[in-house]
């Protein structure tokens, strides 16, 4: 019977070897896990400093309206958006999609809806900047929105925003193309302008007011001379600006933002073009007699991203070259 012993010993040795190999494999997998965890996140620079985000975000809550067009260009469908801020043109699919949660508005955000959408990344900032702390309790939240206070100004920060979003979603090439298009349009506009004076206007509440608070972001890189500096928040409030004041200043050009068209807040408000044409005090001004009035796209107030600025610079280049 002694001849059985070597067989049992061999079998035991084999089982031990398999077990050892199995433990080694498990040990190797366990050791690899920290590397996988590290690879699953990345750190991006934001307006609030560095923030760790998923390396491949799959469920994105998009709250900053300046990012919407870029996310669409990247093929991203969000799990939550503030549907009241969606432009009336180009976003019907997001507005009607019941699987996309409605995040409310920046004035009345619905944090519960955002949380229930289970995002792994929230793109906040801009109108939602005040909610960053609360949003960060739900998921990693980044504010990469453009700002007039950013280094280089608002337009330069649009480029930074786009580049950063390209890094977050692995769309660096597409982001570079968007930045290049903006730079080309901006250079074309700058080549056609030569320090002309301009009235930056906003059609809001059925009257024309000083829109410098929002629109000088456009003209600053072009070297145009703004005839009225920003005074408070006249984009939303009536500053009491008299048409005669603008007539006396007699600027070479006028650029108009139609806030009423974008928000639909006042159904009785006249369209911007009608409001301008009805101003008797302006009939002899240079901008009227020379047809030097540029009306921004109707949805500009709720787009404001890199594509919107690219289009506006194209408008300005065309208008000035045709004058």
Q: Would 290 be classed as within a structural domain?
A: yes
152 pLDDT exceeds 90? yes
Residue 171 in any domain: the answer is: no
Cα(170)–Cα(167) distance, rounded to whole angstroms? 5
In angstroms, how far is the first alpha carbon of the chain from the final one?
111
Total number of domains constituting the chain: 2
Q: What is the pLDDT of residue 23?
A: 39
Residue 22 predicted with pLDDT over 60 = no
What distance in Å separates the CA atoms of residue 269 and residue 289, rounded to the nearest whole number? 25
Domain boundary pick from 115, 145, 175: 145
Rounded to an integer, the average pLDDT of 74-97 is: 96
Structure confidence at residue 10 as a pLDDT band (50, 70, 90): very low
Confidence of residue 283 (pLDDT cuts 50, 70, 90): very high
Same domain, 102 and 208: no
3-class state of residue 103 by DSSP: coil
Q: What is the pLDDT of residues 185-222, one digit of tens each?
A: 999 999 999 999 999 999 988 889 999 999 999 999 99
Is pLDDT of 1 > 90? no
What is the predicted pLDDT for the residue at 237?
A: 57
Q: What is the spatial distance between Cα 198 and Cα 290, in angstroms, rounded to a whole number?
A: 13
Structure tokens at 119: 């995002």
Structural domain boundaries enclosing 124: 42-145
Q: Is residue 37 part of a domain?
A: no
Answer yes or no: is pLDDT of 7 > 50.
no
Domain at 268, CATH number: 3.40.50.1980
pLDDT higher than threshold 80 for residue 137: yes
Q: Nearest CA to 52 among 62, 65, 37?
A: 37
Position 95 pLDDT exceeds 90: yes
**Collapsing DSSP states into helix, strand and coil, what is residue 3?**
coil
């Amino acid at each position: 019977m002694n001849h059985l012993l070597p067989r049992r010993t061999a079998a035991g040795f084999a089982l031990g070897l398999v077990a050892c190999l199995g433990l080694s494999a498990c040990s190797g997998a366990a050791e690899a896990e920290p590397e996988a965890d590290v690879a699953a996140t990345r750190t991006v620079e934001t307006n609030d400093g560095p923030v760790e985000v998923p390396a491949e975000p799959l469920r994105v809550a998009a709250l900053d309206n300046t990012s919407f067009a870029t996310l669409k260009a990247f093929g991203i469908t969000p799990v939550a958006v503030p549907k009241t801020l969606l432009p009336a043109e180009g976003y019907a699919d997001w507005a009607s999609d019941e699987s996309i949660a409605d995040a409310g508005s920046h004035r009345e955000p619905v944090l519960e809806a955002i949380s229930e959408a289970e995002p792994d990344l929230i793109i906040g900032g801009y109108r939602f900047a005040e909610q960053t702390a609360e949003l960060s309790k739900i998921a990693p939240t980044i504010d990469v929105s453009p700002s007039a206070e950013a280094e280089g100004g608002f337009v330069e920060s649009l480029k930074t925003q786009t580049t950063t979003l390209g890094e977050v979603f692995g769309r660096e090439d597409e982001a570079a193309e968007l930045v290049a298009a903006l730079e080309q349009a901006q250079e074309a506009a700058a080549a056609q302008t030569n320090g002309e004076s301009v009235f930056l206007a906003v059609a809001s509440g059925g009257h024309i007011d000083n829109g410098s608070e929002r629109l000088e972001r456009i003209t600053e890189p072009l070297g145009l001379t703004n005839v009225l500096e920003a005074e408070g928040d006249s984009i939303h409030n009536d500053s009491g600006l008299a048409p005669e004041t603008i007539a006396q200043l007699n600027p070479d050009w006028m650029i108009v933002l139609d806030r009423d068209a974008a928000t639909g807040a006042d159904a009785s408000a006249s369209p911007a073009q009608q409001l301008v044409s009805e101003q008797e005090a302006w009939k002899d001004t240079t901008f009227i007699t020379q047809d030097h009035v540029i009306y921004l796209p109707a949805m500009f107030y709720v787009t404001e991203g890199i594509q919107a600025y690219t289009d506006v610079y194209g408008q300005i280049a065309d208008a000035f070259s045709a004058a």
